Each structure stands twice: as C-alpha cells, then as structure tokens.
Structure 1
Amino acid sequence: MKNAVIGHAGIFVMLLTLIYLMGCTAENKTETEGEFLLPVKAYADAMIQLGRDNYGTEESPLFASVLDRKSMQIDERIDTIKMSGVRQNDRSVFGANMIHDSEFFEILFALSTLTGEDKYGTEADKAFEFFFNQCQSEVTDLYCWGEHLYWNFFDEDCGYAPNFDYHETTVWPFWEKAYDVAPDAVWRFTLAEWDHQIHNKSTGDFSRHARYSRHETYSGFDFPRYAGQLMERWTYSYGRLENADRPGRSELRQYIKVMFERMKDNMAQSGSGLLIAGRSSKGDHNSVVWLTSNLELARCLEVAAPIMDQDLAQEMRDFAIKQDQDFLAAPHRLDSLGGGFAVTLHAETGLPRVRSMNKPYSSTWSSGYGYGTHAGVANTLYKRYISLRSMHPQIADRYEEMILQVGEMYLNSEPDLTTLLKPNEFQSVIQLMLHCHSLSRNPQFVDRAAFFARMGMALFLNDGSPLPKVTNRHEHYESITGGPAFMYQLLKLHQTLNP
C-alpha cells in the first residue's frame, strides 16, 4: 500500500518536474488539468495513510511533522541534520507540532469542500480531538506545541530535549474546532496562559516563554505580537456562548486591560516613541523595535477592542493605528540594492540596526529565524490593508501602494537556485502575487504566481515523493520550513484559476 500511494503521486509530480526542466517555465495563463490541485491531494492522501503516529506504545491520529520522504517513517538520523536559519531546539523530529502544521489542516478542510470527500476534514478532526484532550500539561494546563515543544510519539509525552520545557505559542486558526472537541480543556488553557505565563499580574510583565510541566514564569521578554495574541485568545474565549457562565470569564477583560497597559508602558520606554520589543536588557530587547511584531499587536488589539468598555476600546484602536503610522514613517528602502522594508530599528533613534539574527531590512529571497522576505512583510501589510480600508482609507491606500510595489519587484526577480531555498519563501511570494492580483486584477500577478509555483514544485517535489522537501538541499520532510504552507498556496492558486 505504501509504495502504491507514493508511486501514483510520484508519477504525476515527476511529470510536472520534467515539464519544468524541459524549459516550460513561462507564465502559462491557465492551469493544466489538476496541475496545482493534484499534488496537494496526493500530499494529503499520503499523510493520512502513512504519516500518522504509529510509534511507541499508543497509536494516535496525530500527523508527523518530520518524515523520511522515501520510507514515510520518522528517522532519528534527521535529528543530526543542520539547516541554516533553523534552530535545532525549534525542531519536532520525533512527533507532531500542531502549530507548525496549521496550513496542513487548512488543506484538509479545504479539500473536503473542494472534492466533496468528508474524509479529509474528518481526519483533521480526529487529530484535533486527540491533541486538545490528551496533549495538555496536567500541572499547568498549557498545550504541548509551539516554538519549543511538540508531542513525542515514542515517549507518549511532550517532547522536551533538546527543545527545553518552554511553552510558546502563536496564532492558531482553529479554536472553534478545538472548542467543539474539547471545550473544558480549551477553557483551562485559556486561564492557564494568565496563571502560568504572566509573571506579574499587576504590571502585565511576562515572557513569551513559560514552563510547560511546572509553574515557572519569566520576566521582560514581553514581545508585542505575543501580547496581542494572548489578548486575541482571551477575547475569543470570552465570546464563546458555552463559556458565559464559567467561573473566571469576567476576569478575561481585566487580563486584556493589564496586557494593553503593559504595551503602553513599553512604548513610553523608548526615546523614539516606538514600541520596544521587550523590557529586558538581556538580548538588547529594550533597545530594539520589531515593526512587524507591532503590526501583529495592532491586528489583535482591533480584535479585542469590541468586548472592552467604549473609552478603553477607542484607546486600543488608537494605539493600533499608531503602530501603522510608525511603520509607514520608517526608513524603508524598497528601491535600493540591498535594502527592503526596515523591520529592525534602534529604539532610541528609530534607525535600522542589526540585532543577533535580526537583520535591519527584509530581503528578496532569504528567510530564517529572526529575518524574512519582502514578500512576507507585504503579506502582513495586506492584512492591515483589509482591516483598515473602510475606516482608515488613507493608511490602507499607502499599504496598497507598498504591496503592489513589492509585487512588481517579484515580476522581475527570481531566486538563485544554487543557494539554500525553503518552501516558505516560495509560499510567501505566491501568496503575495495572489494578493496583488486581488488588488489590481492585473493578470500578470496570477501568471507569476503560477511561475513560482512551478519553480517550487521543481525544487521540492522533484523525485516522486508527494511530500515537499524541507529545503532544496535536503531530502526529508519537515514542516518548520513551510512545506505545508507552500502546498496550501498551490491549492489557493488552483482556486484562483478555477473560480
């Protein structure tokens, strides 16, 4: 069965690769039959049949985040592989990291809608039911996922080493699904992020890290995007009807207020008036500004504002707009060689600076921990554009200009195929091309999206396996570099070409 699944998908993928390598790389205006849909379906089918947790003493419906693409098995040798831009203690080699795999679940639900086959969404639901009921700390009620944790299939427990015992999560798009399968457990998690993540309940001082297995909080690493995402999750749980009579619900609004006050205080710490990355001097966070992190906070504040009192809600919205204004006022160099979006600034001067792995400007193609591409930033701006176009059209118009300017850059830019490339870099560019098409209706953008999709398939799906490679220089599958996100954009491209 394994060879049949891989072989059928492999024949199709290899044919696509041959077409690309024979020189058919021009931006075709139409999709050849199933060109972008069938590889996605083959990927989903292979993961459903062969990519599950059949290890250890207890099998589960979870999906592996890392696999050997030929054997479709977890291989401990993959743990020794080093990749530029990927930290070893962020990897999930021996199990499942639901956060890294969120776009894979987007694919499953979308395929059920597109194909009429319920099995895709059903298999995602099975994974959710197991994870949200079984993969939660008995001490802290935090979930085993995120930047440093994953569910270890062999130990039937949270994977710590070498990932350490730090809970750190980000956006999760399926809270409604989570509440459907585990309402009580998810509610406990909602409260746990206040109880076990926030260091000082009066000032809102916190760290993006908190111990998973025991109560231990940290101070000063109160990054804006994490503050915003905490507020977003508390807002969502506050609004759920089944939580209306739960003890502690009314306190969620106070948690949001405390967190917002912390962000206001942090902005007051800088000489430039910009919101600093965090209060701690360790790692120089109190002297640095991450503009895209601040935009994510802005997005989340707009989500949280409607449940707050009128005056505070307006203050939150004004604070969010201040982050947009600060971004637009930054010294971006989109028309300069070696320039890009100014994303890392000095907190006192407001000028671009280097910090550790953080680079002062975005780049055209290179991405990794702490740095990213022009396309990735432009996609963030697209979210702000959508949010602001009705109430703040002048700001939205400036974002639209920037997005299209960057999109036009990629009409004439191609990556150096001799360098290390990851699926997430292609995912970001394809997504940007589709965003630019939605803004301008210029067919060049969707044609260019197809061009980069074909190039990405030739790099990451070129040997018969339906799973995308982790990079163009490595042979295994590992979702941390954006393989699921790349495949999801192939599906979005198919939907754009076949409305």
Structure 2
Amino acid sequence: MPRPFSALVLVALCACLVSTPRLAEAAARPNIVLIMADDMGFSDIGCYGGEIATPNLDRLAAGGLRFTQFYNTARCCPTRAALLTGLYPHQAGIGHMVQNRGSPAYQGYLNDRCVTIAEALRHGGYQTFMSGKWHVGENRPHWPVDRGFERSYALISGGSSYFQLDEGRKMAIDDQPHTPPSENFYLTDAIADNAVRFIADSGSRANPFFLYVAFTAPHWPLHALPEDIEKYRGKYLIGWDELRKQRLERMIQLGLVDRRWPLTPRDKDVPPWEEVKDKDAWDLRMAVYAAQIDRMDQGIGRILAELQKTGRFENTLILFLADNGGCAEKIDRGAPGALPGTRESFLSYGPPWANASNTPFRLYKHWVHEGGISTPLIAHWPGVIKKSGLTHEPGHLIDLMATCLDVARIRYPKTFQAREIVPLEGKSLVPILRGRSRISRDAIYWEHEGNRAVREGKWKLVAQHKRDWELYDLEADRSELNNLAPALPAKVKSLAAKYERWAARAGVQPWDQIRTRSTADPMLPTKIDLASRAKIFASHATPGDEFKIENAIDGNPETKWVGEAHPLSFQPANIVIQFNEPQTVQRLVLLSTIFRDRLALKDFEVYAWVNTNWAGATPVAIVKGTTNVSTVVDFPPVKASRLRVRIRDTWREDHSYPRLHEIEVYASPPGTVAGVRKDSPIADEKGSERFVLRRALGEKYVAPGVKFDEAKGYLHYVRAFLDTMIAEGTDRYGKFHSPMFASLLDMETHRIPDDIPANIEGQRYSDRSLRGGNLMHDIMLLRACEWASELCGDSKYRNAATDYLKFFLSNCPQPTGLFPWGEHAYWDFFQEKPGHPTHEFLGGIPAAFWDSVWSLGPEAIRREADGLLNHVGDLESFHFDRHADLFKALPSPRPKNLGGMDFPRHGGFYISLWAFAYSKTSDPKYLEWCRRMIDHHWSARDRGTGILPSTTRGSQAGTATVESTLSLAVSLLESATLLPPGEVRERFVSAGKAYAESVLGLPHKLKEGKFLAGFPMKTDPGQKPDYSEPYRYGYGGGFTADNIGLILALHRLTGDARSLRLAEDCASHYATHEPPPPHEIVRAHVYASILGLFTDLYALQRKPQHLAQAERYARLAIERLFHKGLFRGATSVDHYEGDLMVGNLAYNLLWLHAVKQNPGVWVAPNYFNR
C-alpha cells in the first residue's frame, strides 16, 4: 500500500541528511557534469514514473537526490541561456530564440552583461568542456569557444537530423566549423562519445573539470536506431489514456506527486485511444521517441563508466535535467510514406504523446503551465548527497550557476573582462543537496511568447498569451485545475504586481510587438557611443545632478534623468541628441523605469534633423501606450545630425515626471542608404486611434465640432445629447446591462473604445471611468434629465434619471450604507471589483436627490446618514476625516499624523444630510450630531481670520481653502431652513454668517483680474496668496467660477452686497479674457461653470451684458464640444467622459434656456457639483 505523501516528504528530507566521514574526502573541489535532455517530459524516464528503460539515470537517482519541483523556462534557447548564466533569459539577451528581434533582451545571443558558468569556472581554475547542442548564438563571436569553453563539440544551431547535419545547420569543433560524416553517424552517440573523450583527455591535469553535455534527444525529428526501436514496439498499443494512468500511479508510489493532484483532462484535440484508427502507426511514433531516450541513457552510461575508469566518479557532482516539457509541435516534413525513425522521415510524436510525457500536468513546451516548465532534476555526488533522496523544494535553472560556483568555491563576479555583469538571479542548491536547509527566495518568474507566470511559495499565478491570470495553490493542486483567481482577487493583484516589476526589470516586452519584428538581420545596427560622439539637451529636468539629462547617456542604467512635475499634456518634454557629425541611424532604445508600479514613458515621438530642419512636421516614429522598460524604436534609416524625442505622456496619473535611465542610438550597418524624408500629413485614423492623432499633431489638432444653429436653440442640443445617452449611452461594461449611464463613449461610434489608454488627456486623476457609471460624476446629468422633462414636457428624461437612481440604490452601496469614492478609485459596480483599495464616498447621494430618493426608498437616506458616523474618527471630540474609513482599517498602533483632509465642505455635507434626515424622521440623534459637528468646526477655526483649516493632520495641516469655508457657510445657512425654530437652528445661522463674514472680509480678493487661489493658503490673510489661470481646473484649482457660485449663494441667503460685488468683479475678468484657442484642452465643466456664472448674474440683475456673456460661452461650448449627438469631455479630445462632468454643461445650457424664456425663474444650483 503506498505511503501518504506527507510521509514521503519526511522520508525524502531525512534521506538528504548526511553525517559521514566521507564529507572530508569530498571537500576537494568536485568535477561537475551537467547533462540536459531536449524536449523530454516530466514523466518519461524510469525514476520519474516512466516505462522507458533508463537504468543509468535510475542508478544516479538511487544514489542521489531527485527534485520533484524543479523548473526550466519552457523552451530550448531561453533554458540554455538561463542555465549557462544564472539569469533569466531576457537578461542574458535571449528573451525568445536565436533570431534577433531588435531589442537587447531579444537579440538572440548571449550578451556581454552576463557571464557563463564556463567563463566563471575557467577563471577559477576549472577545465571547461562542452558537447552537444549550443543554441544561444549562431555566429562568431558567440560560440562555446567564445564563452568560456576550452574544448567543444557543438551543434551550434537548434535541432537537426540525427543521421546527418541538415542544410542550414551549423556544427563546430572548438573554433572550427565541422561537418559530420553522412554515414555511420548518430548524433546522440556522437555527443556522448565526445563527452567521454573530454573526460579522458582531462585526466592528465590536476585541476577539476566542468563538462556540459546537451543531448538533442528526444527532440524531433523522430530518428532512432532499429535495435532501440524494436525494444518498444507494441508497448504503446495500450494507448495514451492508459499510459497516463499507469505513469501517474507509479509517480504516486514513488512520492513524486501528491495523490490529491488529479490527472489533467486529455487534450481537447486528442481523441480517446479507442477512437484512434491507425493505432500501430501511433505506437511506432512513441516507440521511436522512447528509443531516443533509451539511446541517450546508454550514452550517459558510457560517461559514467569513463568517470569511474579515470577515478573521478566519487568526486563528481552530476546533474541531469530537461530543457522544457514534452513538445506538442506538429512536425511532418519528411519523404512521403517514410516510417518514423528512419533517415527519410522528419516527424514529431505530436500532442497525444506529449500529453502523456507531461503526466499529470497541463500543457506543453512553449507554455508556462506546469506541463511546459516542469523537469526532472537528478543530483548525484557520492559522500555529500544521501542516496535515494527526494526533495519537494522548488528550484529553477537559474540556480545551477550559483550551485556550481558554490561547490567550486568561486564567487560570482561583479565585473568580467572589464564589463559590468548583471547580478546573479539564482540561489545555490547546495543547502538542499546537503540536506541542511531550504533556499530563501522571493519568487520564480517565467515569460515566453506572452505566456507568463510567477510562483511565490505555494502560489502560482499563470496566464497564456492574451488570456486572464489564473491562480493555483500548488500544494493542493499542481495539476492546475482549480483556478482560484475569481475567489482571491487580492492575491492575484499582489502577484501580478510582483510579476510586472520583474518583467520590467528583466526587459520583457509584449510578445505581439516582438513577434512581428524581422528575424533576418545578419548585419546588425551598431550602438553609437553617445557620451563621446554626441551632446544631449533636455527642455527641463528636476533640479539636482542626480536628475540631469547627461545621466541618460553615461552608460550606467543606475543613473537617470527625471523631468519636471507639470503635466505633459500642457508642455511635452523634449530631448535633443546632437551628433558631432551626421549619422545614418535606424534605431532608438529607451531604458525607462518603474515608479509606484507605473512605467514612466507612455507616449512619445522621434524626429530627425535632416539638412536644416526637423524633416518637416512628421516624426520618424510614433510610440503610443508603450508598456516596456526597454523600449526599442525602429524606423527607416535616416541620415541626421540630431534626433529629438518628444515625450507627450507618462503612466503616472498626473501625466508628469518623465524619466529615463539610458538612451541608446544605433547606426545603420555599413552601406545602408538613407531614405529621403518628406513633410507629409499624418492620416486621420479611425476609432480610438484618433487619440494617437491628437498627440501626434499637438497644437495642430482641433476636434470636430458643429456650427451653432440659433434657430434650434440650446434646448435642442441638450435634448439631442440626452437622447443619445438614453439610447446608446447606458452602462454595458459589466455582467449585465444597467440603466446607469456609461462613463466613457467614443464620439463617432457611441461605444467605449476597445483600446483606450488608461490615462487619456482629459486631465483625469485615475483610470476609474473605464469601469461602470458613477453617481458623483452624473449628478448634474441626472438633474438635466429632470429639468429637460419639465421644460419640454417629455417624461422619458425624468424616467431615465429615476431608473438610474433605483438601480444605483439597489446595487451599489457598500455594507456601511455608503458608496465607493469616485475621485480616488473606480468601482466596477457590476463586477463588484475595486480598481484600488475601496474608499467610501461621502455624498454618494447628492443633496439634489434627497427628496427624490426619499420618495423612492427612505432607507437609503437613513443608511447613508448613519453610515457617515464611520468617518467620525473620535466620537468624544467629533473630529472627522473623509479618510477615516481607511485609517480605521490600518493595524494598531496606527502611524501618527496620517495624511488626509477633513475638508469643511465635507463637514457641511454631513450637517446638511443630518438636518435633512431630522426633518424627515424627527430622530434627535441627527440634531445632536449636527450640533457636535458645528462645535468641532468652530473650535478648529483660525481665531484671527475665522477661516477654517482644510486639515489638522498631515503635511498640509494649517492650510486653508476659501472654497471649503464658503461651502460650510452655505451648507449651514441652507440647512437651517430645514430645522424648526430654536437654539440649534440659531446656531446654524450664526455660524454660517460668521464663516461668510470671514471670507467676505478678507482684505484682498482679486489681483489684476485673476482669482484668489483656493488651495493651499495659510490662514494668515496677510500672506501673499497664489493665483491661478481662469481656465485651468484642478484639485482645489483656484477661486474659479465654481466658488463664485458659492459667493452668489451667500448673496441669496444673506443679502450681503459685498458678495454680489465680488461676483461682478470676477465675472468682468471672464468678459474681457479671451477664451483659449480650440486646440487647448479645457474641460466641459469649465465652460459650464463660466456660462452658469453669467446666467446666475443675469437671473439676479437682468443686465444685458451678463446674458451676452452667458450666450457667448454657451455657443463656444456647443461649437467646440458637441459632435454627433454627444458633448465631448474636453476640447481636442474625441470622447464623452462622465468624470469630466459633461452633465454640468447640459444643466447650465438648460438654465440659460429657462432664464431666457422666463426672466423670473430661479433654480437653486447645486454649487458643490457645478
């Protein structure tokens, strides 16, 4: 009866322990023999559960240690690169195969920033030999003899016929090309025989040797000797289904796999064996495959015999493994009718048998699921490794360099032959070999052809190219059948972030970008030494030598250039490389960096200076949405005296701080003829590609608009917009359709673009609006719906708003009763998945809808009113903070002076909602909470000015916003009307008037027509305030038209003439200030606020100049923003976007229409959201 898996683990670990006098004997530096099979599955050899006769490998396993969770990189070349260098393959220059893909990480040969095992060991006194498949560099100087091997018998290229060298393939003996005989030749035997020869020849020298034996068996083609094939003929007539079952049972018995791990389903393209017609032919294929492995084992036997013959066996560390899992490639290009195994054939054994080879795991070579990357590893070292051991410790090819150097007592070099070397990635396996301790490692990573994975402890995150991440607990499910990703999104996010950081560090690039590059590049571009042959300039840089632009050409990737903090959408960063003399160039490589998990460069252009100008206005290359740390830009050869890189966007949310570690420019190969560049227009591309067009044309791009039709009037355009939103703009991003409005729509198609970047140029704070509707951003849109129905008599608009609210209330609240905070993170309502740690939205139900919501369902108002108490951090003092829900989640003891802002405007919202709740319920707790919140604010005000600090915590403690104090004043005065006469109501009124006076009484309001900055400003009114441009909108971005709306509210509530004069002064600036040109980005919300300001003043005073200015801005907004039934979110962009608050524009256009139609109308605006 088989022992339980846990017992086998204990036996295996104990078996690794060694306490024997022979350890001293093994103290001499050992010889190292590293043997690798090619395209062999995890379960093929006898000691790993297979039925194939491998007595020599079985003998090594019986006398040594077997690893059950050792990994390769899923493919020939990358595996060899990782094995030889101790680095991930991209770091060594072989991110794919030996074809040059036009990038340092994919150049197709070992680079000069790595050192091979042979180089390091040879430098440390070892003899170094290699026999077999090289496949990490096709041309000199990239052969084995160039990378540390004294002697070599090498198949330079990949797989070849076993009976002769295929046309186009290369072999070499040492530094000379070699063509083997066409008769009486079998490649597996030749590789083994030359390995034996090297051992024999090494005996005359005292120093130890390193021998790397890389068999091509059992890689296709299926070529084997008749006597070996005959051993297996008929054995596979049981079929692949039964073979997999038998292998799995043996593997369980051997302790290699856990009985809990089921056999993966048969490949979907493989029929059940009983349905196969030509069973004998399939039996023959597998018999040839087995014969190839059998013959390899025979060769290994001769190597072991030579070690014993020369007395080296006892002090030799022998390692055996495979380069990837079983291969499912379908190969059939031999002579018609040729039988598998013969010289004339050229076949693979195909998916059915590859599925069996990888028992019990999923997928094959190329993929990074367990079937593609799991390999046997047998370690044999008499006197050091205990016999018949098993270890379930994970390991990887990158560990072999560290292991070899460890046993050889050689340090991994920081530099080699005057070259800086990339730090070693692998960990020594020696502690495991000696049974002493586990390896301490962060994680193991994979990427090949877009297939990607990371393993951390028992967790593995894995994905096929262009597919979603899958998450597996490998302790319970190494078969990878129970995907835990949907159940554990936090773990997925954490591991995915870890993978992205590694991918950036290792130089991984998108496979779709790499695969399309030319692979035939015998004459490569040559890197120009920019430090000595060019000068470099930048339009700006962050102060300090550590950020200067010269760092980008110093050859040191640890240094960097960093641009300034301003948004690139307003001023792109320009870098100019001026060559000492004109160069014919065709490639630019930019080494960027990661900052806060965002890659720095996103969008940029490259220009060439030809003769006396920048080759017209056309860039030689446009890069959009790059996701790579190492970004390779190829363009047609051009002879230029300068190159300019114009950086238009970064991945940061504020679109700023471009940063580069290195810039490389590559000259074209000798004899290249540079093309003649002409000034040509950039074609208008379709769909979301218009964003690229806008970035490419910059100031020349003007988004399409309309000519305002006076006869139709403002109501026409608003109705057309609302009709489009109702018909085509409801939310379609989740599991089901909802009546909530979509947050992003293409102006042309009225659909969300498929490939819109995460951060576009509408001055957005985050990528939240790509997911689901957001009531905060749609407040004014819904109010516009209600008002449109009132103005035109069509109830469909009001019904749409009601349906939106009903759905929102039913589906979107959090357990606290509050809603996700829209300004900090999107919340995908329908997937129930946050795009950032969830933060509650204070004011998820705006004041404008309290009466509507109360009629739909009073419990929603009660829930939110009660839920707000979650943001009162200290119930004794009633100190509150809009970030309190996040702070409460922090572990104790919590850090002091946490960031976050107790904006009084949010305190005003608390008070207003509680006053409303009291007016509806008469519950005294709401009145008591109002009183305590008022007292809290009053105690925090500045005694000299009466201005409230925006926060009492964090780095901004003591700063104030005029807007916040205004908001609180308006909230108190408006809410007082909801309360019965009495002490509390009087407290509302007296505090509100006091705050209003503190703002209106400031000695300075305007300067040269510009507005007093709202944030930050010290509470001392004598301090010089900041000033902001009237059309710029940002986070607390100035005493703009929004704040003038609050000033007018104070006038309406108090009758204070000063407020009206201040509003008039501000409005006069907009009346004389020239609007920005049409290509400059201005949000729809800004146009709305300005026309709303003039409409308010006209409604109050009936002055014709106010109406003229309101109509001026209304027409300007329509002509610049309206297109095909939608208002765009900002000028010069091609999309509607909810979080740019287009609804404000619709609302204020209706407000203007109503005031013109009925001079006596007055609708109290929602100043917090206009």
Q: TM-score range by the shorter chain?
A: 0.7 to 0.9
> Counterpart in 1 of 2:1113?
452
CA distance 1:18–1:279, change in 2 (3 Å): closer
Instruction: State the alpha-carbon separation in 1 of the partners of residues 1017 and 720 from structure 2.
Output: 47
Which protein is bigger by CA-based radius of gyration? 2
CA distance 1:401–1:271, change in 2 (3 Å): closer
Q: Output the amino acid matched with 2:882.
A: R
> Counterpart in 2 of 1:297?
968
Contact 2:1067-2:1093 within 8 A present in 1 as well: yes
Name the SS of the counterpart of 1:67 in structure 2. Answer: strand
Instruction: State the alpha-carbon separation in 1 of the partners of residues 766 and 750 from structure 2.
Output: 22
> Counterpart in 1 of 2:810?
133
Contact 1:206-1:220 within 8 A present in 2 as well: no
1:303 Cα deviation from its structure 2 partner: 3.5
1:17 Cα deviation from its structure 2 partner: 4.9
More helix by share: 1
Contact 1:135-1:151 within 8 A present in 2 as well: no
1:264-305 CA-to-partner distances (Å, cap 9, x unmatched) read: 12115x66543211210x131x22111111111111122344
1:234 Cα deviation from its structure 2 partner: 0.8
Instruction: State the alpha-carbon separation in 2 of the partners of residues 209 and 41 from structure 1.
Output: 39
CA distance 1:79–1:168, change in 2 (3 Å): farther
> Counterpart in 2 of 1:260?
934
> Counterpart in 2 of 1:208?
882
Instruction: State the alpha-carbon separation in 2 of the partners of residues 323 and 366 from structure 1.
Output: 27
> Counterpart in 1 of 2:1001?
329
1:483 Cα deviation from its structure 2 partner: 1.2
Instruction: State the alpha-carbon separation in 1 of the partners of residues 813 and 1099 from structure 2.
Output: 40
Q: Output the amino acid matched with 2:1012.
A: F
Contact 1:85-1:369 within 8 A present in 2 as well: no
Contact 1:433-1:449 within 8 A present in 2 as well: yes
Count of residues paired in the alignment: 445
Instruction: State the alpha-carbon separation in 2 of the partners of residues 345 and 107 from structure 1.
Output: 33
> Counterpart in 2 of 1:13?
none
Whether 2:997 is the aligned partner of 1:320: answer: no
1:410-444 CA-to-partner distances (Å, cap 9, x unmatched) read: 22222221432111111111011112212332112
> Counterpart in 2 of 1:111?
788
Indicate the larger mover: 121-130 or 400-409: 400-409
CA distance 1:311–1:220, change in 2 (3 Å): farther
CA distance 1:312–1:186, change in 2 (3 Å): closer
Whether 2:845 is the aligned partner of 1:165: answer: no
Q: Which runs of 5+ in 2 are unaligned?
A: 1-703, 1159-1170
Q: Output the amino acid matched with 1:349.
A: D
Whether 2:1088 is the aligned partner of 1:422: answer: no
Whether 2:916 is the aligned partner of 1:236: answer: yes
Matches within 5 A, 1:56-455: 56-75=734-753, 77-83=755-761, 85-88=763-766, 91-137=768-814, 139-148=815-824, 150-152=826-828, 154-155=830-831, 157=832, 160-162=834-836, 164-170=837-843, 171-194=846-869, 196-211=870-885, 221-240=901-920, 243-244=921-922, 249-267=923-941, 272-280=945-953, 282-284=954-956, 286-305=957-976, 307=979, 310-336=982-1008, 339-344=1010-1015, 346-347=1017-1018, 349-351=1020-1022, 360-372=1026-1038, 374-389=1040-1055, 396-417=1056-1077, 418-455=1079-1116
Q: Output the amino acid matched with 2:1058.
A: R
CA distance 1:434–1:483, change in 2 (3 Å): same
Instruction: State the alpha-carbon separation in 1 of the partners of residues 763 and 1121 from structure 2.
Output: 18
CA distance 1:109–1:287, change in 2 (3 Å): same
| Greater relative CO, 1 or 2 (CA 8 Å, sep 6+) | 1
Contact 1:53-1:153 within 8 A present in 2 as well: no
1:227 Cα deviation from its structure 2 partner: 0.5
> Counterpart in 2 of 1:392?
none
Indicate the larger mover: 47-56 or 372-381: 372-381
Q: Which runs of 5+ in 1 are unaligned?
A: 1-15, 21-30, 355-359, 390-395
Q: Output the amino acid matched with 1:416.
A: P
Contact 2:969-2:991 within 8 A present in 1 as well: yes
1:450-477 CA-to-partner distances (Å, cap 9, x unmatched) read: 111111112111xx32221121122111
1:49-99 CA-to-partner distances (Å, cap 9, x unmatched) read: 11112333222211112222222223363352343643116x322111111
Q: Output the amino acid matched with 1:221.
A: M
Instruction: State the alpha-carbon separation in 1 of the partners of residues 797 and 944 from structure 2.
Output: 52
Instruction: State the alpha-carbon separation in 1 of the partners of residues 949 and 1067 from structure 2.
Output: 29
Instruction: State the alpha-carbon separation in 1 of the partners of residues 1132 and 1003 from structure 2.
Output: 35
Contact 1:287-1:347 within 8 A present in 2 as well: yes
Q: Output the amino acid matched with 1:198.
A: V
> Counterpart in 1 of 2:513?
none
Q: Output the amino acid matched with 2:958.
A: S
Q: Percent identity?
A: 24
Instruction: State the alpha-carbon separation in 2 of the partners of residues 385 and 150 from structure 1.
Output: 37
1:26-47 CA-to-partner distances (Å, cap 9, x unmatched) read: xxxxx82222111100111111
Instruction: State the alpha-carbon separation in 1 of the partners of residues 1003 and 1112 from structure 2.
Output: 31
More strand by share: 2
Instruction: State the alpha-carbon separation in 1 of the partners of residues 718 and 1050 from structure 2.
Output: 29
Instruction: State the alpha-carbon separation in 2 of the partners of residues 60 and 419 from structure 1.
Output: 35
CA distance 1:387–1:84, change in 2 (3 Å): same
Contact 1:190-1:237 within 8 A present in 2 as well: yes
1:310-350 CA-to-partner distances (Å, cap 9, x unmatched) read: 3343333222222222212324353516x423534644522
Q: Provide the aligned C-alpha RMSD in A.
A: 2.7
TM-score, reference length from structure 2: 0.36
| Alignment equivalent of 1:48, drawn from 714, 718, 726 | 726
Name the SS of the counterpart of 1:448 in structure 2. Answer: helix
CA distance 1:468–1:372, change in 2 (3 Å): farther
